Chain A
Amino acid sequence: MSEDTKGLNRRQFLTIIGASGGAVACSPKHGPGKIVPLLTPPAEGVPGKPTFYRSLCRECPAGCGVTARTREGRVVKLEGNPEHPVNRGALCARGQAGLTRLYDPRRPRTPLRRTAGGGHAAAGWEQALDELAGALRAPPLGEVVVLSRAESGSLGAIQEDFTRALGDRATRIVYEPFDPAALRAASQKAFGLEEVPVYRIDRAAMIVSLGADFLESWLSPVEHARMLSEARSAEGGRAKLLFLGPYLGVTAAAADSWIPTAPGAEREIALALCREIQGRARGALPPEGAAALGTILAPYDPATVERKAGLPAGTLAGLARDLLAAPSSVVLPPAPTASGTDATAAALAVTLLNQLLGNHGKTVLYGLDPGEERPAALADLRDLASRMAAGRVSVLITVDADPVATLPAELRFAEAMAKVPLTASIATGRSATGEHSTYILPELHTLETWSDSHVRRGILGLGQPVMRPIFDARSSGDILLELGARLGLAAEQFPFRSFEEFWRDRASSYAMLEENWTGDLLAAVRSGQQVGGFFSKTPRPPADVTWQPGALEAFHSAATELSGDPAGPILALAPDLLRYDGRSGGLPWMEELGDPVTTVAWATPLVVAPALAAQLGVEEGDVVRAFAGQENAEFPIYVWSGLAPGVVALSAGSSAALALLPAKDDHIGGGRAFLSTRVRLARTGKHVQLVKYEGSQSQQGRDLFRTVPSRDARLPEAEHGRSMYPPAKPGARRWAMAVDLDRCTGCEACVAACYAENNLPVVGADQVSRGRAMRWIRIERYVDGRDASRKASFLPMLCQQCGEAPCEMVCPADATYHNPEGLNAQVYNRCIGTRYCANNCPYKVRVFNFEDHAWPEPEPMRLNPDVTVRDKGVMEKCTFCVQRIRLAENMARDEGRPLRDGDVVPACVQTCPSRALTFGDLQDKGSAIFRVSKSPRGYHVLGELNTQPAITYLARVDKGGRA
């Protein structure tokens, strides 16, 4: 290189490189933090492999166990815990939506304090707890009230300890809006045992539900669904279910016949049935004797009951005959939401009927209720509201309870809260009570903390954190412990450093006392955690019960009193399978799924019968104002023919409905009487577009939903011309599914499972109303028959994975094709979005991404990493959960064995509470699916099109058929 070369020479270049490299190496500022994955991951965390933890579902008081599937440290799906005796692997839609509660974008992320402007602003935990402790200490020492939902476990116990430690001025009120108080009161009267019995529906050959929506919200719906299925497929013969009540809901639709009766007539019907059978009673008569009983039952003659209840005398006599003829039976008392001021008398009447039928100890079991929580009577809450309004309460702490949204508006609970100097709402999500509280204290979700649930004797469910908390939230137990520490209560009353310790202590004492565990109690708790609780191997024997004298006096109580306009229709509550008492309302899946009966999503309309709608001159979507006493509210109309005459219905999950109803209580049991008023309806002239899924209510005679007169009746084969093409060569497998319509109740658990498993986006009310819901499985609800013989049918519809698929040949881009396992695979990357496949699909199960969907933080954390999130312009559909097929195949390969029947379980099949779905390889002659698909009741929907679907439907057993 010559001397006069311009620019750098080699030495200069190296000097500069060296200097700058050194400067970078010595840079005082750190680069971004951890950008490499953990070099030594936790032992259980294998990237790409799911880890399962057992925990609890706390979405309703039923106490089901869950298995949480976690991936890379975060929970992505909830499934039922197969070892939990209550739900045995199944989980309802609401339970699965517990996951969306965890990842709800609206969840408060830090403590929030109310601002002068009325809103809430972020505050620190220290500030919140200091202020709360200060208020608890500050003179004058007013009352302290802890208002909690029922917590039959450590959370309830620590609240009890906390209030006890605070002394007399503190009380704990347990508030469960739908608490079956009448059942406890009735059993107290009848047997001197204050408890809720266990109804063994599975053991009954004849099930009569007098207004008990046992498949929707009453007591333990998932368990009941399984029991009903078992009863219907019992060896000895198919159990018969009759539903008497004013509303054709999910339970009524599942019944062999729905007998529309007047609301609140259950007591009279039960007593009339007692009167019919008293001479032939199988159980012991009450000690008052036959004569006294006869006198009491005398007024309930069939003619009177026909007049009052709308139950034809002939039907009543037939019912009595059937009940006596059945080898076993069970009569279910009205649900709290269906009961009026005579709720206890009605429950007692049903108890008497079960007694006369000899069902106690067989299908109705006492002595199993652990009785840990005693929810308060309505009077206690009324009293609380007045004490608060009078300024006597200085601190109100609500824990997972939402009195503002669920109590009658006339109690003015929100206004009363304003009179309390400090109110704190401890809850996972936002609630109406939280909005009215000084502090919103974010609580850890059940899946982020410790919990337990003493469902019944011999069953203690254990909940544990399955992932690290995503927000700055705390367990309600820890919050109370912290408060206790600040108040100096800790030493004596709370010898615990954390709620976890408290929980562990209680769990180990349970293991010791109830399970007779000896030795290492910590190991006992660990094993309990692995199983999901302590479930005693031998079921606890039920208590022997004897009818107490004096119980029959209850029947002298007057019938349900209804306030409101005497000429107006009676307002009944329709059970809400998705929102329960409103606590699951607002969760995206629960709003988007749509009520199975009305198919209305994102709203809770006023359900009126066609005759009344015509009389009022309103149509679907017209807004009416309902007046009940002092209260009134506006509701859009949904016209539904499944209503008894003179009744309108509102969803029990609608806080507007719960607020509208007057504050009346059951005269004996003290629970809230929801059946309490007639309403006056006035047109408003407004109209809204109801967001609903149904197109035609009728099947149009297409026989999509078929019935057979008996379990063994054979359906005729579908007639279709011969195919022009040679039969397809059998592939490696033929994945197939069977849907037993005799078991399916339309509960939509499968739909929720699909949303979770396959990352289905929630598109919102507007897009659903435009027919763009992104669901791979839907429940089609059809209504057939007239008036009293009206029947609602639920037909789950998903991709039929046709052997000769109409969608496949029309795709120009080959984005959908037939794979060797018989699946109609959809390749998102190839799809250009002509939508021809959807047009040509006779089952209309393909859904198109009309837009890019929003996944607000932290929702992306719950997305299943095994399933692609689809972009706009792409068609999608059910895959039979192909990712689960692949996982099962890989596991089998790892274990060096062939795939076995039952290894592959799609999400919908896994969760079905009534076990209506069967899945497997049709080419495996030994498989369950092969056997079920050959059922004489089997048929293909639209079989005449000869698309050779992989889904076999098993016809509903119904003597009357569907017209």
Chain B
Amino acid sequence: MSHRELATAGATPAAAGTPAIPDIETPVVASMGLPGPILWTLIVLSGAAAALGGWCWSVQIQRGMVVTGLQNTEGWGVYITNFVFWVGIAHCGTLVSAILFLFRARFRTAVYRAAEMMTVIAVTTAGLFPILHVGRPWFAYWLFPYPNQRHLWVNFKSPLLWDVFAVSTYFTVSAVFLFVGMIPDLAALRARVSGWRSKLYGLLSLGWRNSDGEWRSFGRGYLFFAALATPLVISVHSVVSWDFAMAILPGWHSTLFAPYFVAGAIFSGVAMLITLLIPLRRALGLSDLITRHHLDMLGQLVLFTSLIVAYSYGTEFFLAAFGGTALERSTFAYRAFGSYAPFFWTMVFCNCINPMLLFFKRFRTTTAGLLWVCIPVNVGMWLERFVIIATSLSHNQEPFTWRIYHPSLYEAGITLGSFGWFFFWYLILVKVMPSLSIAELKESAHGEDEEVVAHAA
């Protein structure tokens, strides 16, 4: 149905079913024009936030981790929360572009490019945090195993090292995936723009000439890419979850963590995508291309993952109560009723209760309804990671060392900076690169949405 809606909602009056090819390129090109005053303000604000984060970090490097709220009892806090949060956000792109591609979910066509862009920027943001949080960031490169004059090697048993590989692999694959998918679009846009853009698109389109052979190779390659990227969606966040699950800390040490984190990541990623798309489609004038139908489908995805996440929360408590040791039980009692209980219950509301509204179609199809659910989900998913980290460390095995962690203003500054960093690059990217897949939309508009797959086959 999507192509029909798309066609009827097109800017140019045209008979139903008639292909209206310029209707796709024009708005996409228009969306890449000079930013308006609001967007400029947003870019400047987010750039300023990123700069503030950078300044906070410079102070932290100079004075040491003393500027944070971290302590001997709680070695991790907001930074690791942010890391997991941004990796989670990064999940959406690959899910939408790869998994939904393989599942032939048509609605992905309109949103996957924006999602992939979000992925690449989010994983870049996430990648900052492991460096930000270490005590001696100037030696962070020691985490990479390469033959070196130090005659030292890394410890492959450490989940943190797995993180290094998981995140860098994910970044590489998602960036290449994004880039490869853009090649036909860049070639198409090359002629429609002038100046540096023309040169840039020309360069990046790698000499694409729109030949049938190229399309065949492209389609096949894209399919393989999707097949390759799919396991990554599962593996990256599984590995991230092992940072916790491999530790023996009560509340962390659980086999549930990998699936639970993957579902949570998709949950938070899709919610973030919706949060971004709704204002973007308005700001960039893409409401005709990213329709309510698409949002509805994304909303259903949020609802589905919310149910998984809620189930996981329940399972965690069940495991602690039923099978766990006294240490586990104590930690989970603390999580729900201790010093961090307000955060925990806010999280439960945001991630489990509020998303149930999406059972109503009205909430899924109105932007206000979706934002009402998705913005709290972003908050709730951030809190989820914070609660897992803070409560378990705070309430560790040695009661004498129990302490409460209060993040400092520097940590808040760096967190804000990470959002600034993310939005700054994201806003620039959607202005510089086509945030919708022109080629796929055209195929959809032709009613030939299976074409890419057909080429591949």
Contact = CB atoms under 8 A, between A and B. Distances in A.
Interface of A: 693-696, 698-702, 704, 767, 770-773, 778, 780-782, 795, 797, 806, 809-814, 830-836, 838-840, 842-844, 846-852, 872-875, 942, 944-945
A695 B63 contact: no
Contacts of A852: 64
Nearest to B74: A771
A809 B135 contact: no
Contacts, number: 167
A795 B75 CA distance: 23
A781 B398 CA distance: 11
Contacts of A833: 65, 134-136
Contacts of B137: 832
Given A812-B143, A814-B152, A832-B142, A806 B326 contact: no
Contact of A806 (B66, B247, B401): B247
Nearest to B247: A840
A693 B400 contact: yes
B48 interface: no
A28 B107 CA distance: 91
B70 interface: yes
A770 B75 CA distance: 12
B152 A872 contact: no
A843 B70 CA distance: 18
- 9 residue pairs, one from A and one from B, having the closest CB atoms: A833-B135, A873-B135, A695-B402, A771-B71, A835-B75, A696-B399, A872-B64, A780-B400, A873-B136
Contacts of A700: 330, 399
Contacts of B374: none
B393 interface: yes
B135 A874 contact: yes
Contact of A874 (B74, B136, B154, B397): B136
B153 A944 contact: no
A843 B400 CA distance: 10
A545 to B, nearest CB: 47
Interface in B45-75: 63-66, 68-75
B154 A872 contact: no
Contact of A842 (B64, B158, B396): B396
B192 to A, nearest CB: 48
A942 B248 CA distance: 12
A184 B152 CA distance: 68
Given A695-B399, A830-B152, 18 more contacts: A696-B400, A704-B399, A771-B73, A809-B246, A810-B158, A810-B159, A810-B247, A811-B155, A812-B143, A830-B142, A831-B136, A832-B134, A832-B137, A832-B143, A842-B397, A846-B72, A848-B75, A849-B64
B135 A698 contact: no
A844 B143 contact: no
B135 A842 contact: no
Given A704-B398, A842-B397, A847 B72 contact: yes
A846 B142 CA distance: 21
A846 B398 CA distance: 13
B155 A814 contact: yes
Residue with the greatest number of chain A CB neighbours at <10 A, chosen from B249, B327, B399: B399
B392 to A, nearest CB: 9
B375 interface: no
Given A812-B143, A842-B397, A702 B326 contact: yes
Contacts of B73: 695, 771, 844
B98 to A, nearest CB: 29
Interface of B: 63-66, 68-76, 130, 133-137, 139-140, 142-143, 152-155, 157-161, 164, 243, 246-249, 325-327, 330, 393, 396-403
B135 A813 contact: no
Contacts of A850: 64-66, 68, 70-71
For B75, B154, B159, B396, the residue with the greatest tally of chain A CB atoms inside 10 Å of its CB is: B75
26 contacts: A693-B400, A695-B400, A770-B71, A771-B71, A771-B74, A772-B72, A795-B400, A797-B398, A810-B246, A810-B247, A813-B142, A813-B154, A832-B142, A834-B130, A834-B135, A834-B160, A836-B75, A836-B247, A838-B72, A843-B397, A843-B398, A848-B72, A851-B66, A872-B65, A873-B65, A874-B135
B65 A945 contact: no
A695 B401 contact: yes
A85 to B, nearest CB: 36
Contacts of B136: 831-833, 872-874
B140 A832 contact: yes
B402 A696 contact: yes
B140 to A, nearest CB: 6
Overall SS of chain A's interface: loop
B161 A812 contact: yes
Contacts of A704: 398-399
Contacts of A701: 326
Contact of B399 (A699, A767, A811, A848): A699
Given A814-B152, A844-B72, A945-B248, A835 B399 contact: no
Nearest to A850: B66
Contacts of A693: 400
A845 B382 CA distance: 29
Given A844-B401, A849-B135, A771 B160 contact: no
A806 B152 contact: no
Nearest to A873: B135
A782 B400 CA distance: 7
Nearest to B397: A842
B248 A842 contact: yes
A702 B161 contact: no
A51 to B, nearest CB: 36
Contacts of A795: 400
Contacts of A848: 65, 70, 72, 75, 135
Contacts of A851: 63-66
Contact of B160 (A770, A810, A844, A875): A810
A771 to B, nearest CB: 3
Given A770-B71, A773-B72, A809 B399 contact: no
A834 B64 contact: no
Contact of A834 (B72, B133, B157, B330): B133
A289 B158 CA distance: 80
A836 B70 CA distance: 13
A836 B160 contact: yes
A809 to B, nearest CB: 4
Most buried by B among A696, A780, A874: A696
A833 B246 CA distance: 19
A852 B135 CA distance: 11
Contacts of B157: 809-810
Contacts of A842: 248-249, 396-398
Contacts of B139: 813, 832
Given A702-B327, A852-B64, A812 B155 contact: yes
Contacts of B403: 695, 771
A839 B76 contact: yes
Contacts of A696: 399-400, 402
A715 B243 CA distance: 36
A253 to B, nearest CB: 15
Nearest to A693: B400
Given A693-B400, A833-B65, A942-B397, A840 B248 contact: yes
A621 to B, nearest CB: 14
A873 B140 CA distance: 12
Contacts of A838: 72, 75
B330 to A, nearest CB: 6
Contact of A812 (B133, B158, B249, B326): B158
A831 B137 CA distance: 11
A842 B72 CA distance: 12
A843 to B, nearest CB: 6
A945 B397 CA distance: 10
Nearest to A846: B72
B59 to A, nearest CB: 12
Contacts of B246: 809-810
B411 to A, nearest CB: 13
A693 B63 CA distance: 24
